[in-house]
Amino acid sequence: MPQFTFYFAPGACSLASHIALEEAGVAFEPKPVALRKGEQMAPEYLALNPKGKVPLLLVDGKPLTENVAIINYLAKLYPAAGLLPSNDALAEAEALSLLAYCSAGLHPVMSRFFGPQRFCDLPDATANVVKLASEANAKNFAIIDKMLAGKDFILGTYSAVDGYLLVFWRWAQYHKLDLTAFPHYAALVERVMQRPAVQRVLAREQEAQAAIA
Ligand SMILES: N[C@@H](CCC(=O)N[C@@H](CS)C(=O)NCC(=O)O)C(=O)O
């Protein structure tokens, strides 16, 4: 089996890959990256990931980036872990479609809450950037909530997509967004939070956060 080194930042989108690693039950060396201190821009880190982002998974020293790719790779390497559907081409594609929506749909909208000034540097633009982000985010959350109606998990049974969805709910809570319109998403998060692998990951991220601070 490959040697894994996993670079993540506590609370960041890397949580999606972190949960997938833990759910797969593989051994890996965890490497916290302090984003606020700019460790992702250190030359040694940029040499591994020129994008200056987490997550980054080293597979026998070879860098693999992007949650979608890392999760898909782990799902293929450890099919028994059930991270994604594996024996039905359409079900696999539907799962990838959701992972892509997380990465390219939900994430970029939520990034605007974390750094509104990076999206518009006109004076006094922050409130407007946040207002538009809130509207776009509510649309995304409504789509996810509707997909979850009558289901325990977004694909029916637990998959790595559910772990990814946890990231955005936590971010929304951090930014104190009104989440009352999304009861199915709230119920999903409760189920995901009960998973032992998720609890272990959150404990590791909390520990890493304390060490960084
Ligand atoms: N599409 C990428 C997004 C990666 C990303 O944006 N990571 C953020 C944390 S959520 C990051 O490392 N930001 C550091 C920075 O921009 O300086 C993925 O899903 O892996």
CATH for 171: 1.20.1050.10
Whose Cα sits closest to atom 15 in ligand 1?
Answer: 53
Q: Is the CB–ligand 1 distance for residue 49 below 6 Å?
A: no
The pTM assigned to this predicted structure is 0.98
Give the domain range for residue 164. 89-195
Whose Cα sits closest to atom 14 in ligand 1?
Answer: 53
**Rounded CA gap, 82 and 79, in Å?**
6
For residue 122, the model assigns a pLDDT of 93
Do residues 78 and 32 both lie within one domain?
A: yes
Centroid of ligand 1 to alpha carbon of 120 (angstroms): 19
Q: Is the CB–ligand 1 distance for residue 54 below 6 Å?
A: yes
Confidence of residue 160 (pLDDT cuts 50, 70, 90): very high
* Count of the separate structural domains present in the chain: 2
Do residues 24 and 69 both lie within one domain?
A: yes
For residue 125, the model assigns a pLDDT of 95
pLDDT in tens, 113-145: 999 999 999 999 999 999 999 999 999 999 999
In a mutational test of the pocket of ligand 1, which residue from 40, 53, 71 has the highest number of ligand atoms less than 8 Å from its CB?
A: 53
Do residues 125 and 190 both lie within one domain?
A: yes
